[in-house]
Amino acid sequence: MKVLVTGAAGQLGYDVCLEIGSEAVGIDIAELDITDKPAVYAYIKDLRPDAVVHCAAYTAVDKAESEPKKCHAINTLGTRYLAEAAREADAKFLYISTDYVFGGTLDRPYETDDAPNPLGVYGRTKLEGEEAVRSAVEKFFIVRSSWVFGINGGNFVKTMLRLRRERGEVSVVADQFGSPTYTRDLAKLIAVIIRSEKYGVYHATNEGFCSWYDFALGIFRSAGIDVSVKPLTTDEYPTAAVRPKNSRLSNKSLTDAGFELLPTWQDALTRFVADLQSS
């Protein structure tokens, strides 16, 4: 089974390639500009993959507010071109989406069939990407995840550890909630899903919920570091893009389809910090 993996230089794409192994063909912007429609069609026609795992995305949430056209080109148009080309190649298509397609106003974890309501450019373009996949491909998987962290690239865990080295105190938002997700665990699940024919929409995160503040405390605890962490409200930490306060995703869709749930975020974080320290 030949699997094309986009965004192979990013956190998730990197781990997906490692997990799939020799069957993976990993590409990034250096190999293919996914906003170039003719190039996308030609590449997939020549490669003839059995499946596409689309991890590439514009993920600079705040910067997207000032670069909406670029964000749209990558997240919406690029996804549409890849999906249409995959359909022509009769390939399965797995699209990585995000908790940001939701507005964060519910008082419970979001289910896959809850109505999306993105708050900013990033979430809106990712939702448009979902819609492009649904309309272009019959054999599709949409996998929404949240708060991802991995070895290959920048993330909240690495940022917290860096800030601790630079400062004596760290301030973190305490009224936004979600599920931290280790890309290595998510990649293992993706490798299983892509080999199945259980098409549809899934939420996939490490088990359990926390605030960014709780996450930061867990990071320093896992690293054996004593540091003062100050809780902030969202209003005290304004950003260009509005974040959903409730990013909790229900993983019931995985259980319903017979897939194994990911380990708890605390377990994942402990393993990730150990990997960081050993490297």
pLDDT tens digit sequence for 120-149: 999 999 999 999 999 999 999 999 999 999
Told to judge if 58 belongs to the known catalytic residues of this protein, a careful annotator would answer no
Segment 169-181 mean pLDDT: 95
Question: Is residue 224 pLDDT above 80, yes or no?
Answer: yes
- The string of DSSP letters for 25-42 reads EEE-TTT--TT-HHHHHH
Segment 100-119 mean pLDDT: 97
71: helix, strand or coil: helix
**Cβ proximity of 127 and 118 under 8 Å:** yes
CA distance 120 to 240: 9
Question: Is residue 278 pLDDT above 80, yes or no?
Answer: yes
pLDDT classification of 168: cutoffs 50, 70, 90: confident
Instruction: Choose, from 43, 58, 122, 202, the residue flagged as catalytic.
Output: 122
Domain ranges of the chain: 3-155+181-208+249-263
Q: Which two tokens stand for residue 92?
A: 């399965």
Q: Which two tokens stand for residue 19?
A: 């997990």
What pLDDT is recorded for position 174? 97
Q: For residue range 2-59, what is the model confidence (pLDDT) as tens digits?
A: 999 999 999 999 999 999 999 999 999 999 999 999 999 999 999 999 999 999 999 9
Q: Which residue has the tokens 């056209």?
A: 69
The domain 3-155+181-208+249-263 is placed in CATH, from the list 3.90.400.10, 3.40.1280.10, 3.40.50.720, 3.40.50.11890, at 3.40.50.720
Task: Of 195, 197, 179, 200, give the one whose Cα is nearest residue 261.
Answer: 179
Say how many residues make up the chain.
279
Furthest CA-CA distance within the chain: 56
